[in-house]
Structure 1
Amino acid sequence: MKLNKEIFTKAIIAGFFSAVTIGALTVLTYKTTLGLFIAASFGSSMVLLFGFPESPFAQPKNVFFGHLITALVGVFFVNFIPLPIYISIAGAVGIGIFLMIVLDIVHPPAGGNPIMVIIGSASFEYLINPIIFGCILILLIAIMVNKFLLKKNYPLKK
Structure 2
Amino acid sequence: MERNTNRWDFDIDTYINPWIPPSILQKLPHQISRFLGYRASPRKELGSILVALWSLFGAFCGIAAVSAVFKYSGVFSELDPPIIIGSFGASAILEYGVIGSPLGQPRNCVLGHFLSAVCGVGVAKLFQLSSHFDDIKWVAGAVAVGLSSAVMSITNTSHPPGGATALLAAVDVSVARLGWYLLPYVLIGTTLMLGIALAVNNIQRQFPVFWWTPKDTGGRLWPVSKATEPDLEALEEQKVVHGRSDIPTSFDLPMGSDSSTASLK
What is the TM-score when the length of structure 1 is the normalising length? Answer: 0.87
In 1, Cα distance between equivalents of 2:75 and 2:137: 30
Superposition RMSD on alpha carbons, in Å?
1.8
Q: 1:17 to 1:33 in 2, by over 3 A?
A: same
Separation in 2, partners of 1:151, 1:53? 9
Q: Give the corresponding residue for 1:50.
A: 96
Q: What residue in structure 2 maps to residue 138 of structure 1?
A: 193
1:153 is displaced (CA, Å) by 4.5
Closer, same or farther in 2 for the Cα pair 1:22/1:153, shift >3 Å?
Answer: closer
49, 54, 58: which one pairs with 1:13? 54
C-alpha distance in structure 1 between counterparts of 2:201 and 2:59, whole Å: 12
In 2, the alpha carbon distance for the partners of 1:153 and 1:69 equals 23
The 1:77–1:132 alpha-carbon spacing in structure 2 relative to 1, beyond 3 Å, is same
Residue 128 of structure 2 corresponds to residue 128 of structure 1: no
Q: Which residue of 1 aligns with 2:5?
A: none
* Structure 1 residue 34, shift from structure 2 partner: 2.6
- CA-CA distance at 1:155 after TM superposition: 4.0
Kept after mapping to 1: 8 A contact 2:54/2:201: no
Which has the larger Rg?
Answer: 2
**Secondary structure in 2 matching 1:34:** coil
Displacement of 1:146 after TM fit? 2.0
Inter-partner Cα distance in structure 1 for 2:117 and 2:52: 29
Structure 2 segments unaligned to the other structure (5+ residues): 1-45, 211-263
Q: Aligned runs of 1:107-122 on 2, under 5 Å? A: 107-119=159-171, 120=173, 121-122=176-177
2:68 equivalent in structure 1: 27
Deviation at 1:31, TM superposition (A): 2.3
Secondary structure at the counterpart of residue 157 of structure 2 = coil
Q: 1:95 aligns with which of 147, 150, 154?
A: 147
SS at match of 1:38: coil
Identical aligned residues as a percent: 26
C-alpha distance in 2 between matches for 1:95 and 1:153: 29
Structure 1 segments, 4+ long, off by >3 Å, are none
Q: CA deviation at 1:18?
A: 0.3
1:73 shift after superposition: 0.6
Structure with the larger helix share:
1
- Provide the residue aligned with 1:38 in structure 2: 84
Cα distance in 1 for residues equivalent to 2:54 and 2:207? 16
Per-residue CA deviations over 1:98-118 (Å, capped at 9, x if unaligned) read 111111001111111122111
Question: TM-score if structure 2 supplies the norm length?
Answer: 0.54
